């Protein structure tokens, strides 16, 4: 057996703990309730609720914890913050964004402070920012299983306080501070903790060890799928095929098979090794309210969770495709716009998501997909947002990376002009919208549906032209057509070599591909 | 807990005033989170406006704002000016000055210095 992997860290609280890893989870999504309160009243009520929640936490016997909660309550009651958020609301900003923007400004100020004591307070402000956003969204901070090792970039003090540590467990933070509030709490409760481990990947529930005495994290077992040797298990015919989504047509051409994902929990039951990763993550199904859209941490947690699952395989996150027939709870005033047009019209939404994706971009396997692109300039404009947010993160010293940025090909004009989209790093065909816009049909037009077979030839002709215009850049298909085994031959013939399909369709599409030649003809003997 | 407004009948005759004082911080680590909370909570218990300026600066900070007070880098040896304007200004100044001189009640609360 290979020696356990030891990661150097900084000790923040002594002791040794072993347990299943808990990778910091996103908050449970919930629709925000309709509200006809004024923004000021809505924020005021949310702050009051947050204070009540904190007071309930403070009822515990923990003196250090009391101090921290008293501090957080005092910040929630700070007249300066209320004024700044109020001014943003008066200027027309949505409540959630007004609050998040105000607190983000203060968090940045603290992070840039020369004094570590002040820098260490940033996570308290992040904590109350998220607490109020949770109230605005109607969700609450999730607890994690007793006895587990909390793994995350940082930890909110209230999460520590709400957790039952009597069953043991520990904390390993990628970043964090040994003089921060959580470290202080951990020492007072004798919870082993290390900080500054740096980014590391581990699967949820895998046993890891936190050694707060010598400042190391031990990943005890080398994961099987971390090694490329997958030839050793030939007799597992009932198990899903762990081919990493890389298969071959009957005449030996490589085809990739990825999955489409809506909510992050969907991947839990799917072994990553049966896929080439996530070809399409529809972020609008995980970010379901304007408050979520303002919540950078929550989004970051969702993307991180998918990247952890994929374990090095590609994860393609499509930025919020909202507007039109996909409304976002709480969003008003721009409903006629959709996709990238809406993102550019409401850059405050795009910027939060860009920051979360940039932070997740420290994983080189992340890719970002822009929805409903019509013109090359839209990609340039969005790229500019990524560049600006990236330099801001650099200034703050937050680790990040600019992921490859590709586009959905679902507007017929874009498909026709694909060679002009020089700034797109890759292309993904969305055949549902492409068909709809190509045939002047409304999606809700039920009368048109029975005749959809008739649309196929024109869509295929457009696709095969577009594949040629893609100029060798990566091309994939993620629409419903990709999940339909009766279309696989046509799509192969059109030149498609990467299919992203609903997870349930993996076996059907896999067997369709291996029974066909690369030109879509049936293999001999079939 | 921050109490209600301290308008007692005793002080009724000196309702509106402007007042200022100067005091040196002797506390070991200055105004970090806990003493700042103590300070702003006390400030908030008075109805008058309360402002603080540090080390001769002419920038006056809202004395009821934890983020302003904590961000002001007040530490051992800092001289802070406190001014109050409005109802119970005089009493507010006296109470806040006393608090600074008592080292923000840190020892009393925790039996040790932070």
Quote the ipTM score.
0.80
Q: For residue A206, which of A194, A217, A196, A221 has the smallest C-alpha distance?
A: A221
**Which regions in chain A score pLDDT beneath 50?**
1, 26-35, 221-238, 445-447, 450
| CATH code, residues A39-137 | 1.10.274.10
Taking CA–CA distances from B29, the nearest residue in chain A reads: A117
Residues of A with CB below 8 A from B66's CB? 71, 74-75, 78
d(Cα B34, Cα B69) in Å, to the nearest integer? Answer: 11
Taking CA–CA distances from B49, the nearest residue in chain A reads: A79
User: Cβ contact (<8 Å) for A74 and B110?
Assistant: no
Alpha-carbon Rg for chain A, nearest whole angstrom, is 25
d(Cα A70, Cα A76) in Å, to the nearest integer? Answer: 10
d(Cα A294, Cα A353) in Å, to the nearest integer? Answer: 8
Residue A307 CA: distances (Å) to CA of A201, A208, A405: 9, 19, 17
**What's the gap in Å between the CA of A153 and the closest CA on chain B?**
23
Q: Which of A52, A54, A72, A78 to mutate to test the interface with B (most CBs of B within 10 A)?
A: A78
Angle (CA) A448-A451-A452 rounded to 5° is 90
User: Cβ contact (<8 Å) for A71 and B67?
Assistant: no
The pLDDT of residue A189 is 73
Residues of A with CB below 8 A from B36's CB? 71, 74
Segments making up each domain of chain A, as ranges: 5-25+142-224, 39-137, 262-452
Looking at residue A338, the DSSP 8-state letter turns out to be B
User: Cβ contact (<8 Å) for A121 and B71?
Assistant: no
More confident residue, B30 or A413: A413
Residues of A with CB below 8 A from B70's CB? 118, 121
Give start and end residues of each alpha helix (H) in B1-114: 33-44, 66-70, 89-101, 106-110
Mean pLDDT of chain B: 81
Residues of B with CB below 8 A from A115's CB? 73
The pLDDT of residue A443 is 55
The pLDDT of residue A375 is 97
Q: Is B81 on the interface with A (CB under 8 A)?
A: no
Residues of A with CB below 8 A from B41's CB? 74
Looking at residue A450, the DSSP 8-state letter turns out to be G
Cβ neighbour number for residue A453 with a 10 Å cutoff: 8
Q: For residue A346, which of A336, A358, A360 has the smallest C-alpha distance?
A: A336
Angle (CA) B67-B71-B72 rounded to 5° is 120
Q: First-to-last CA distance in chain A?
A: 44
d(Cα A288, Cα A30) in Å, to the nearest integer? Answer: 7
- Find where tokens 């300026």 sit: B53
Largest CA distance in chain A: 78
Strand A170-173 to A149-152 pairing = parallel
Strand A5-8 to A207-211 pairing = unpaired
User: Cβ contact (<8 Å) for B67 and A118?
Assistant: no
Residue A225 CA: distances (Å) to CA of A7, A149, A199, A207, A311: 20, 22, 19, 16, 9
Strand A254-261 to A498-502 pairing = parallel
The pLDDT of residue A33 is 42
The region of weakest confidence among A17-26, A79-88, B57-66, B90-99 is A17-26
Is residue A198 within 8 Å of residue A34, measured between CB atoms?
no
- Tell me the β-bridge partners of A464: none
Cβ neighbour number for residue A39 with a 10 Å cutoff: 20
Taking CA–CA distances from B110, the nearest residue in chain A reads: A63
Strand A475-477 to A427-429 pairing = parallel
Select from A68, A80, A117 the Cβ nearest to the Cβ of B67.
Answer: A80
d(Cα A348, Cα A92) in Å, to the nearest integer? Answer: 12
Q: What is the phi/psi pair of residue A385, to 5°?
A: -60, -40
- Which domains, ranges and CATH numbers included, belong to chain B? 15-106 (3.30.1340.10)
The region of weakest confidence among A265-274, A321-330, B4-13, B23-32 is B4-13
The pLDDT of residue A27 is 38
Instruction: Using CA atoms of A41, A47, A51, A57 in order, give the dihedral in degrees to the nearest 10.
Output: 130
User: Cβ contact (<8 Å) for B62 and A106?
Assistant: no
**What's the gap in Å between the CA of B70 and the closest CA on chain A?**
8
Select from B36, B41, B64 the Cβ nearest to the Cβ of A79.
Answer: B64
Select from A63, A79, A115 the Cβ nearest to the Cβ of B65.
Answer: A79
Helix (H) or strand (E) holding A43: helix A39-58
Taking CA–CA distances from B40, the nearest residue in chain A reads: A74
d(Cα A174, Cα A154) in Å, to the nearest integer? Answer: 7
Looking at residue A143, the DSSP 8-state letter turns out to be P
Residues of B with CB below 8 A from A185's CB? none
d(Cα B7, Cα B13) in Å, to the nearest integer? Answer: 11
The pLDDT of residue A313 is 96
More confident residue, B43 or A236: B43
User: Cβ contact (<8 Å) for A117 and B67?
Assistant: no
Residues of A with CB below 8 A from B65's CB? 78-81
The pLDDT of residue A285 is 81
Question: Which two tokens mark A211?
Answer: 């050694």
**CATH value of A5-25+142-224 in 1.10.3720.10, 3.50.30.10, 3.40.50.300, 1.10.10.60:** 3.50.30.10
Q: First-to-last CA distance in chain B?
A: 21
Cβ neighbour number for residue B69 with a 10 Å cutoff: 24
User: Cβ contact (<8 Å) for A117 and B40?
Assistant: no
**What is the 3 state secondary structure string of A295-330?**
CHHHHHHHHHHHHHHHCCCEEEEECCCCECCECCEC
Binding-face residues of B in 14-53 toward A, CB within 8 A: 29, 32-34, 36-37, 40-41, 44
Q: Is B59 on the interface with A (CB under 8 A)?
A: no
Q: For B83-94, give one letter per residue: b (16+ CB within 10 A) or e.
A: bbebbbbebbbe
Q: Tell which phi-psi region holds residue A143, choosing left (phi > 0), alpha (psi between -120 and 50) or beta.
A: beta
d(Cα A378, Cα A389) in Å, to the nearest integer? Answer: 17
| CATH code, residues A262-452 | 3.20.20.60
Residues of A with CB below 8 A from B33's CB? 67-68, 71, 121
d(Cα A367, Cα A474) in Å, to the nearest integer? Answer: 12
Q: CA torsion sign, B88 to B90 to B91 to B93?
A: positive
Helix (H) or strand (E) holding A425: none
- Find where tokens 């900080």 sit: A195
Q: For residue A158, which of A193, A132, A190, A197 has the smallest C-alpha distance?
A: A132
Q: For A139-157, give one letter per residue: b (16+ CB within 10 A) or e.
A: bebeebeebbbbbbbbbbb
**What's the gap in Å between the CA of B62 and the closest CA on chain A?**
8
Q: Is B66 on the interface with A (CB under 8 A)?
A: yes
**What's the predicted TM-score (pTM) here?**
0.64
């Amino acid at each position: 057996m290979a020696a356990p992997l030891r990661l150097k860290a900084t000790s923040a609280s002594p002791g040794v703990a072993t347990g299943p890893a808990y990778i910091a989870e996103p908050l449970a999504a919930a629709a925000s309730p309709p509200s006809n309160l004024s923004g000021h009243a809505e924020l005021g009520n949310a702050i009051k609720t947050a204070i009540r929640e904190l007071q309930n936490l403070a009822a515990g016997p923990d003196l250090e914890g009391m101090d921290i909660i008293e501090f957080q309550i005092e910040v929630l009651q700070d007249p300066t913050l209320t004024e700044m958020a109020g001014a943003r609301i008066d200027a027309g900003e949505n409540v959630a964004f007004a609050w998040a923007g105000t607190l983000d400004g203060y968090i940045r100020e603290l992070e840039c402070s020369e004094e570590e004591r002040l820098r260490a307070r940033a996570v308290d402000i992040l904590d109350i920012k998220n607490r109020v956003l949770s109230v605005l969204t109607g969700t609450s901070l999730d607890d994690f299983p007793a006895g587990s090792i909390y793994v995350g970039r940082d930890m909110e003090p209230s999460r520590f306080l709400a957790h039952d540590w009597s069953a043991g467990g520990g904390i390993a933070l990628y970043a964090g501070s040994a003089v921060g509030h959580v470290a202080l709490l951990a020492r007072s409760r004798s919870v082993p903790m290390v900080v500054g481990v740096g980014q590391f990947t581990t699967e949820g529930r895998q046993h890891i060890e936190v050694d707060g005495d010598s400042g190391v994290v031990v990943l005890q077992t080398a994961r099987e799928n971390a090694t490329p040797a997958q030839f050793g298990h030939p007799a597992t015919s009932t198990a899903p095929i762990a081919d990493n989504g890389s298969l071959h047509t009957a005449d030996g051409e490589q085809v990739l098979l990825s999955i489409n994902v809506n909510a992050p929990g969907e991947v839990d039951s799917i072994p990553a090794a049966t896929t080439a990763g996530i070809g399409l993550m529809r972020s609008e199904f995980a970010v379901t309210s304007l408050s979520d859209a303002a919540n950078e941490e929550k989004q970051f947690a969702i993307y991180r969770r998918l990247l952890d699952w994929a374990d090095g395989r590609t994860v393609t996150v499509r930025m919020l495709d909202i507007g039109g027939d996909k409304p976002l709870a709480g969003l008003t005033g721009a409903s006629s716009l959709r996709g990238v047009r809406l993102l550019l019209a409401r850059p405050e939404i795009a910027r939060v998501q860009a920051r979360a994706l940039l932070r997740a971009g420290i994983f080189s396997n992340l890719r970002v997909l822009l929805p409903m692109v019509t013109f090359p300039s839209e990609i340039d404009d969005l790229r500019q947002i990524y560049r600006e947010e990236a330099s801001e993160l650099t200034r703050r010293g937050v680790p990040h990376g600019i992921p490859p940025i590709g586009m959905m090909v679902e507007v017929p004009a874009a498909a026709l002009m694909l060679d002009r989209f020089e700034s797109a790093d890759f292309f993904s065909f969305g055949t549902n919208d492409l068909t709809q816009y190509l045939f002047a049909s409304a999606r809700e037009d039920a009368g048109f549906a029975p005749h959809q077979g008739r649309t196929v030839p024109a869509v295929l002709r457009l696709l095969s032209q577009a594949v040629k215009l893609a100029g060798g850049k990566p091309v994939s298909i993620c629409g419903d057509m990709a999940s339909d085994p009766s279309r696989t031959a046509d799509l192969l013939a059109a030149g498609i070599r990467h299919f992203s399909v609903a997870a349930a369709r993996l076996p059907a599409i896999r067997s369709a591909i291996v029974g066909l030649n690369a030109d879509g003809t049936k293999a001999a003997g079939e | 807990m921050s109490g209600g407004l301290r308008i007692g009948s005793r002080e009724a005759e000196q309702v509106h005033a402007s007042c200022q004082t100067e005091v040196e911080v002797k506390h070991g680590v200055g105004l970090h989170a806990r003493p700042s909370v103590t300070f702003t909570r006390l400030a908030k218990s008075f109805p008058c406006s309360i402002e603080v300026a540090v080390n001769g600066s002419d920038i006056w900070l809202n004395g009821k704002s934890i983020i302003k007070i904590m961000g002001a880098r007040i530490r051992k040896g800092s001289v802070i000016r406190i001014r109050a304007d409005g109802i119970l200004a005089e009493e507010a100044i006296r109470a806040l000055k006393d608090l600074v001189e008592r080292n923000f009640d840190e020892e009393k609360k925790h039996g040790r210095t932070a």
